[in-house]
Amino acid sequence: MSTRQVSDSNDPVIESRDQLIAPMIKGEKPRERWRIGTEHEKLVYARSDHHAPSYEEPGGIRDLLMALKDFGWEEVVEGGNVIALSGSDGAISLEPAGQFELSGAPLESLHQTCDETNRHLDQVRAIGERFNIGFLGLGMWPDKRREDLPIMPKGRYAIMLRHMPRVGTMGLDMMLRTCTIQVNLDYSSEADMAQKFRTSLALQPLATALFANSPFTDGKPNGFLSYRSHIWSDTDPARTGMLPFVFEDGFGYERYAEYMLDVPMYFVFRDGKYIDAAGQSFRDFLKGQLPVLPGELPTMSDWQDHLSTAFPEVRLKSFLEMRGADGGPWSRICALPALWVGLLYDQGALDAAWDLVKGWDMDGREALRSAVPKLGLDAPLPGGGKLKDIAAEVLAIARSGLAARGKLNGVGDNETGFLAPLDEIVRSGKVPAQRLLDKYNGEWGGDLGRIYEEGV
């Protein structure tokens, strides 16, 4: 989740509705400038007893952030607390309960993405050794209750923690207990954005299945393969879901802006502080009628902030953000951008992927999205069959798209090898959560503490 650093005194006031689509238009780039931005979160735990470290405790989250400055990262401060870091590899930030996130830099190739990921891994491992801290790649804490978890000192999180119970039963679980891998990708035009949005939204349940990795809650199996994905079903319906309007004729920037105007606000950032505007209307803000700032009009930064507070399966800002995957181990992080880059960054692959899903109706898409958290690759497809029936075909399309890009590393390999972890999942028919359950019911003998020892 983005971290606001300063208020800009030169920030333009929004005076026309054209300004609402300006960030999306600004995101348009020619193909040669398309980049890959990968975000991945990790659960942080103390090796001594597996507790989630607080911000303040010795060897806790603050110390972890400060130690990473040894690698050239620079502090981002809010309210006197270091709550993020910035550097050449993007930004390191904190999710509400201390989940540790790298928001990677925009890069040209998957080879660069994996180099960046490995640098980050080396750095956090080194600091982890210093403080006896470990990192866990899962979609959700397997054994921690909400009340077991610390809260990070970020203003927007305090507002969200108060608001979430008003709008759903699982929003606090989303904030405190989950982790994800996400990919940010570019588009060249409004039409290109619309085709990529529709294709990736329809296929997001496949990513959820392939990366399903959260089968435990409160120390025992929860009956789901991706409980993280299930949590989104009752987090906040006004800002989540499959967005049926994306598939309607004429969808474009203006329609998405209209959707965002109907998403209730969380906050307004002024003078380095977050003002609680939870549940209030950006439409009222445009009229100078926001209850917490009467008479004041929003700026472009306010709109940019607001664009970051919707959480659909695919999100549009000045790029498209793929949001369907659980967090996972380092060995699978690069597979998610490989999937989406392969499908969306080559026109032939994009057309083939869209042809595969364009006949699905909205009821079928919603049913698939609802079934995947529990059934994974066995979820029923719109029109018949199961998700696993198209998984190999989708990977073949992605592979063709990556091959067509022709992005080679120093020894002449293209990017197709990054799909290998997904090929193995499809061949075996077992998603990551099912492998964890096999271990839990087999060699672990029901001892979930083994999940820390094996460093999954």
Report the sign of the C-alpha dihedral through residues 364, 429, 397, 215, in that order.
positive
Q: What is the pLDDT of residue 202?
A: 98
Q: What is the pLDDT of residue 453?
A: 86
Phi, psi at residue 454, to the nearest 5°? Answer: -85, -10
The tens place of each residue's pLDDT in the chain, 456 residues long, gives 555 555 556 899 999 999 999 999 999 999 999 999 999 999 999 999 999 999 999 999 999 999 999 999 999 999 999 999 999 999 999 999 999 999 999 999 999 999 999 999 999 999 999 999 999 999 999 999 999 999 999 999 999 999 999 999 999 999 999 999 999 999 999 999 999 999 999 999 999 999 999 999 999 999 999 999 999 999 999 999 999 999 999 999 999 999 999 999 999 999 999 999 999 999 999 999 999 999 999 999 999 999 999 999 999 999 999 999 999 999 999 999 999 999 999 999 999 999 999 999 999 999 999 999 999 999 999 989 999 999 999 999 999 999 999 999 999 999 999 999 999 999 999 999 999 999 999 999 999 999 998 864
The amino acid at 211: F
Distance, in Å, from the CA atom of 157 to the CA atom of 189, rounded to the nearest integer, reads 34
> Is residue 85 within 8 Å of residue 92, measured between CB atoms?
yes
> Is residue 304 within 8 Å of residue 384, measured between CB atoms?
no
Q: What secondary structure, in 3-state letters, does the chain show?
A: CCCCCCCCCCCCECCCCHHHHHHHHHCECCHHHCCEEEEEEEEEEECCCCCCCCCCCCCCHHHHHHHHHHHCCEEEEECCEEEEEEECCEEEEECCCCCEEEECCCECCHHHHHHHHHHHHHHHHHHHHHHCEEEECCCECCCCCHHHCCCCCCHHHHHHHHHHHHHCCCHHHHHHHECEEEEEECECCHHHHHHHHHHHHHHHHHHHHHCCCECEECCEECCCCEHHHHHHHHCCCCCEECCHHHHCCCCCHHHHHHHHHHCCCCEEEECCEEEECCCCCHHHHHCCCCCCCCCCCCEHHHHHHHHCCCEECEEECCCEEEEEEECCCHHHHCHHHHHHHHHHCCHHHHHHHHHHHCCCCHHHHHHHHHHHHHHHHHCECCCCCECHHHHHHHHHHHHHHHHHHCCCCCCCCCHHHHHHHHHHHHHHCCCHHHHHHHHHHCCCCCCCCHHHHCCC
The amino acid at 163: H
User: Which residues touch 138 (CB under 8 Å, ≥6 apart)?
Assistant: 43, 179, 213, 214, 326, 327, 328, 451, 456
Q: What is the pLDDT of residue 352?
A: 98
> Is residue 312 within 8 Å of residue 242, measured between CB atoms?
yes
Q: What is the pLDDT of residue 8?
A: 59
> Is residue 133 within 8 Å of residue 64, measured between CB atoms?
yes
User: Which residues touch 8 (CB under 8 Å, ≥6 apart)?
Assistant: 299, 301
Q: What is the pLDDT of residue 413?
A: 97
Q: What is the pLDDT of residue 455?
A: 66
Tokens of 330: 């380092």
Q: What is the pLDDT of residue 4?
A: 53
Query: Is the domain defined by 18-263+310-446 classed in CATH 3.40.50.300?
Result: no
Q: Of 1, 43, 41, 40, give the one whose Cα is nearest residue 142.
A: 43
